Structures are given as structure tokens and as C-alpha cells.
Amino acid sequence: MKYEFPPFRPPSEAGSYLLRVVRGCNWNKCAFCGMYKGMRFHQRPKREILSDIDRISKIFGYSTTAFLADSNPLIHRDITEIISYLIKSYPWIERITAYARIKTIAAMPKTKLKELHESGLTRIHMGLESGDEEVLKLVNKGISPEDAIKACKKASRYFEVSYYVITGLAGVRKSVDHAKNTAKVLNFAKPNFVRVRNLIILDGTPIKNMVGREIVPLNAKQQLLELRTLIENINFKTYFTCDHVSNYVFSEHGPIFHGVSGYLPEYKDEMVCQIDDALRTIETLESSGCRIFTGNDMYKLGIISL
């Protein structure tokens, strides 16, 4: 089984069988993303994938979940046969998940989505990043807010849907618009999960050249205020989680905020309280001369990695 490391997959799939169906990303133009830069996209031959399935339990041990890699594997010409073979080979698998591109799902016929569901696919992860049209164009996401709403509504008939949001993606100037318009799209789309990542500015990505011009990165307080605005404006039932180190806020002595997680709207007030507590902690520490760092700051210092 060949794989360039690190293997990109959601934290929720850390214990899953990892099956590489395609290599790279067929869009690969997002200004903030460094995951597949320099990698040519192609569909792996079916015979190689089926051979990997035959050996996958020897490599990963026992798992009841599987993740299909890399980006947008659902466009593989043999994807339903691959999923069916995986289920047939390991009938104890309870969940099969994949990354998918919003534009792909928005354009995919319902018959194909139904076929994927019937073959065994149960959950898809899609990057919304922002619901603000100006921000989506700025970072060259290649989708519109309308695409995001359409894709989620179509997919939700057959799968659980996770949508990813990047706090800080709009910088300081459009922070409030980014948060409110993202919540607006989410409210229409209604994904099962909303997963938050705070912007990490990676070397070699186009967004790094925007810093100081189109984008001024958020400081820790601004990051938390944007997160608070996003949560306050979400009004449908979903599981909301900051399940990534990029969401952390650090003092000189260690993390002081680990993100928030829970069902909305049930835990909205509790999440807002946690954020407000973190804001008060920052004010107290800064007044005593202590420095505060975002995940992006810590990445630049080489203290955390992605």
C-alpha cells in the first residue's frame, strides 16, 4: 500500500481504515490550502485499490470505520464497486466516509448519490470555509453560497454531512460579515456537523501573499469574537465542534482555550460562556504583561504542526 505521509483525513477518522482511492485534489486551487500542492491528481487503478482492500486489516488492524482518500474520491469511475467490495470484504464496517467537493455534490445526479448510499457510503466531509461570497472568491474556493446550500440539501437525503468552516479566513476587515454570512448558509444547508478550523497561514500558499493587504490575521481576542458571532447566529440543530489544534489559544505557559464542542442549540449558551471566560482570561493575562498566541502564531514559531 503506497501513501505519501502525512495521510490527510479528519480527526474523527483517526482510527479508521485508510483507503486511497484518488491521489491529490482535482481542484487544488484554494488559496489557503497546502495539502496537495505539487501533487498531480489522478484516479488510482481499480486493481490496485482492490488489492489494498484485501490487505488493509493487516496494516491497520481492526476497525469498524473506513475513510476514502484523498480529496474528492467520489468522482472515481469505479467508486461504487470499490465501496461495495470494501463492505463485502469487511462486513463489520459500520461507517464509510469520504471528503467531497461541494461543487461535485451540487452537480451530481440524485441517482448517483443514491447509488453511493446503497453501496455503503454513510458520511461525507465538505469544505464550506465561508458563506460570504466575497471571501469565497478571494480564496479561490470555486463555489458559491448557493452551491453549498444545494450540495448539503441533496447529500443529506442519503448521508451524514460535515461542513468545515475556517475562522479568520476573511481577516479583520470582514470578520463579522464572514461569521454572519457563514451562519446564514449553514442555517439553510443544515449539515449534521459543523467543524471549525482557525486559519493557519502556510508557507507556499497564495494566501500568505495576501497577508497585510487583503487579509490582516486575527489576534486571539478577534478569533474568539468571530467564533462567538458564528455560534450566536446558528439556529438549527447540529453538532458543532472545534476539533483541531488550530482553534487553540495559548499563553506563554500553555493552552488557555481548547475550542468548544456540543450540540446546538442546546449548548449554545454554555459555549458562549466558555468563549467569554477565555476572553476575560486573555484580558487578565495581557494586563499582567503575558503574551497571548493564536494557533497561527504557534505554527509560525514551530511549536505546533498540522
Residue 153: which CATH number? 3.30.750.200
Contact 215, 184 (CB under 8 A): no
> In percent, how much of the chain has pLDDT > 90?
89
Q: For the chain, which residues score pLDDT lower than 70?
A: 1-6
Domain end among 53, 83, 99:
99
CA distance 190 to 306: 28
- Is residue 225 in a domain? yes
Residue 243 carries which side chain, given as an amino acid letter?
Answer: D
Of 141, 117, 116, nearest to 130 by C-alpha is 141
- Identify whether residues 156 and 53 lie together within a single domain: no
Q: Is 259 helix (H, G, I), strand (E, B) or coil?
A: coil
Predicted TM-score of the model (pTM): 0.95
- Is residue 179 in a domain? yes
Residue 24's domain comprises 1-99
Q: What is the pLDDT of residue 37?
A: 84
Of 152, 201, 21, nearest to 143 by C-alpha is 152
- Identify whether residues 134 and 262 lie together within a single domain: yes
- Is residue 119 in a domain? no
- Is residue 105 in a domain? no
- Identify whether residues 136 and 242 lie together within a single domain: yes
Residue 151: phi, psi to the nearest 5? -60, -45
> Sign (positive/negative) of CA torsion 254, 198, 159, 61?
negative
- List pLDDT tens digits, range 38-48: 889 999 999 99
Residue 163 carries which side chain, given as an amino acid letter?
Answer: Y
- Identify whether residues 72 and 140 lie together within a single domain: no
- Is residue 120 in a domain? no
- Identify whether residues 266 and 144 lie together within a single domain: yes
- Identify whether residues 187 and 261 lie together within a single domain: yes
Q: What is the pLDDT of residue 215?
A: 94
Enter the C-alpha cell of residue 128. 464550506
